[in-house]
Amino acid sequence: MIKTYNPEFEQDIREKLQRQGFMKLLGFHVTKIAAGSIEGELTLEPHHRQHKGFAHGGLIATLADIVAGFAAVSLVPKDHHVVTAEIKVSYFHPGVGDKLLVKGYVIKQGRKLNFCEAEVYDVRGAAEPLLIAKASATMATITPEEIARRV
Amino acid sequence: MIKTYNPEFEQDIREKLQRQGFMKLLGFHVTKIAAGSIEGELTLEPHHRQHKGFAHGGLIATLADIVAGFAAVSLVPKDHHVVTAEIKVSYFHPGVGDKLLVKGYVIKQGRKLNFCEAEVYDVRGAAEPLLIAKASATMATITPEEIARRV
Amino acid sequence: MIKTYNPEFEQDIREKLQRQGFMKLLGFHVTKIAAGSIEGELTLEPHHRQHKGFAHGGLIATLADIVAGFAAVSLVPKDHHVVTAEIKVSYFHPGVGDKLLVKGYVIKQGRKLNFCEAEVYDVRGAAEPLLIAKASATMATITPEEIARRV
Amino acid sequence: MIKTYNPEFEQDIREKLQRQGFMKLLGFHVTKIAAGSIEGELTLEPHHRQHKGFAHGGLIATLADIVAGFAAVSLVPKDHHVVTAEIKVSYFHPGVGDKLLVKGYVIKQGRKLNFCEAEVYDVRGAAEPLLIAKASATMATITPEEIARRV
């Protein structure tokens, strides 16, 4: 039932990623772009951690927000925008590994609202990646008329 | 009804902040530490923004998580830890100003769970700071026995 | 900054309440209707409780949803609808008293989305009502054009 | 990784269901009880609907809370309790059918906190049941020592 209204979504998302100052600061890389589904990864460095040495919860929320948001972006028409109305992140385990894998996907596409989820996995050596956090988000679509009204 | 079980909470929080790699990466500064309530600010730089020039939603979630979490930390005994069980952030306006102000506070203190909220304000020149996001979070207390079991 | 677009909101809400089968089943009464703010109360009966004798969490979520939703309804034009996009409810204490008081209010009014909160208080004899739950919700406005498209 | 600490969980849950006044008021029936997973259904009557004729959002939140909560109950030791710390429900479609199907399951079992999800499906005649709402919840385990302290 998921359908994209932008045939060039992959290229458009890559261009938007280029202008994401915050994503570059974090060192997050998108590895897969499909219609309604985005994946990426981040190598954990000391500056990603909080005072106990775990990946910061805010970092995890940020990665979840990015992949959930771009999953929605992949579906809307080229001239529409997507903004996060709200996101909830639940934390299951501390992130103590070397790398985080993140998957975001749309579970209910809508004209105005896209409901998305994101999963964050911790990669600890050769073990199976561990699901350490899950997010649910409401992503609102902004039409060109609404963008014009805002300026 | 809010009561701290750590008379040295202010100094302890300052020491923990020193070891927060991620907070330093972001450039966030805590400006006020009280029992059950923390405030801070961040000067918005290009690397804090997403592709449309707004403060990144993940940055806002991170700041909300920090102040809500430390508001809970200020109440628990010195040898206890606090972890975020879940946080929900609602976004009211884009962050387009020069600086973000953040307030976190405990609204229900508990033995195992502290329910906290956080407010994020955008400072745009001389105007009244605008509430651009609000968060509600469940912060779980980890006792020394539980910390020992984890190792 | 909260402003109603329906001068007859109070009467319109009273008419809608008349058609709320579920609200009648529960026995919930609205006691105050203002622009962007609704209050009500419910006398706790055995059929409102779960197996431990506490007010059911679903009952509390329902009351929170009703007052948060009607707080948004009070602001939108007469021919617009409001639907709950999502609601989160945090539970601070069990509801063990005789009566529940509920307050819902809009904290950020928007053209498409209204962000609302609700507070649920337990009334235990002569004591000060106790805040036992708090909710945050995203209420979406449905325009007449959108209502027509749905049919 | 999900493991029950109560070999008699099915019978214990059936006994608790008998004492659920609110669940009986609603007319909800549990149809399947497994370790970490509960299913049930409800035939939609006029008293379950709001003023536009849709299944009330509070009803949907209640069913989600019941199955998510009992999914957690199925895992904890017999003398432990489970309480909802928080639940978030996202609404994808209005409930307009004849019956609601509900599934609740634990996605991360923990000593103190169980993270659960619930899915609500609308059954409209012979069509495939439609996912109309999804919930994520934090269910807290209460030990016998904590129960004793509360009294």
Taking only the tens place, the pLDDT of each residue in D87-133 is 999 999 999 999 999 999 999 999 999 999 999 999 988 889 999 99
By the 8 A CB rule, do C47 and A100 touch? no
Residue B51 lies in a domain: yes
- In this predicted structure, the answer to whether residue C151 has a pLDDT above a threshold of 60 is no
Residue A2 lies in a domain: no
What is the predicted pLDDT for the residue at C69? 97
What is the predicted pLDDT for the residue at A121? 98
Write out the two tokens for C57: 């969490």
Spell out which chain D residues touch chain A, with contact meaning CB-CB distance below 8 angstroms. 88, 90, 92-93, 107-108, 110, 115, 131, 134, 136, 138
Q: Which of A84, A87, A136, A138 to mutate to test the interface with D (most CBs of D within 10 A)?
A: A136
Q: Within 13 A of D2's CA, how many CA atoms are on the CB side?
A: 16
By the 8 A CB rule, do B35 and B76 touch? no
What is the predicted pLDDT for the residue at A149? 82
Above pLDDT 70, what percent of chain D?
A: 99
Q: Select the residue of D85, D111, D146 nearest B138 (Cβ to Cβ).
A: D85
Q: Which of C13, C20, C42, C84 to mutate to test the interface with D (most CBs of D within 10 A)?
A: C84
- Number of H helices and E strands in chain D, helices first, is 4, 6
Cα A37–chain centre separation: 9
* Nearest C-alpha in C relative to D69: C57
Residue B130 lies in a domain: yes
Spell out which chain D residues touch chain B, with contact meaning CB-CB distance below 8 angstroms. 85-86, 88, 111-113, 136, 138, 140, 146
Predicted complex ipTM: 0.95
C5 class by beta-carbon count within 10 Å (0-12 exposed, 13-18 middle, 19+ buried): middle
The chains found to touch D (3+ Cβ pairs under 8 angstroms) are A, B, C
Mean pLDDT (chain C) is: 94
Residue C73 in 3-state DSSP? helix
CATH number for the domain spanning D118: value is 3.10.129.10
Residue B2 lies in a domain: no
Residue C27 lies in a domain: yes
Task: Label residue D150 by pLDDT band (50, 70, 90).
Answer: low
Write out the two tokens for D14: 């059936």
pLDDT digit string (tens) for A20-67? 888 889 999 999 999 999 999 999 998 998 878 899 999 999 999 999
Residues on chain D touching C90 (C-beta within 8 angstroms): 85-86
Tell me which residue range forms the domain holding B83. Answer: 9-150
The chains found to touch C (3+ Cβ pairs under 8 angstroms) are A, B, D
Residue A144 lies in a domain: yes
Residue B60 lies in a domain: yes
Q: How many domains does chain B have?
A: 1
Mean pLDDT (chain A) is: 94
Residue C137 lies in a domain: yes
